[in-house]
Amino acid sequence: MENESISDSAGRMLDEGRDKLNDYADKGMEYVWSVNSLMTGFIRDEPLLAMATVFAAGYLAARMLNQLTRR
């Protein structure tokens, strides 16, 4: 009898964990859609500024990686 309650409890805990994980995944997807929407609007409104920003970020990343590989 006690073994059944332990397995029921474990099953319930697994179900609750799955539900929480699904909730977090849904919130994450909503966040990604929101950021994607903002980025798309920014790129449409300011394409030159967006390209300059991407270029600058790539340049800085390349400089940092270059410094790391010299060590």
Number of separate domains in the chain: 1
* Average pLDDT taken over every residue of the chain: 90
For position 11, what pLDDT does the model report?
Answer: 84
Closest to 9 (Cα-Cα) out of 25, 1, 23: 1
- 62: domain range? 2-70
CA 49 to chain centre: 24
CA distance linking residue 32 with residue 37, whole number of Å? 8
Do residues 42 and 50 make contact, with C-beta atoms less than 8 angstroms apart? yes
pTM score, two decimals? Answer: 0.53
Length reported for the chain: 71
4-24: average pLDDT: 88
Return the DSSP state at 41: H
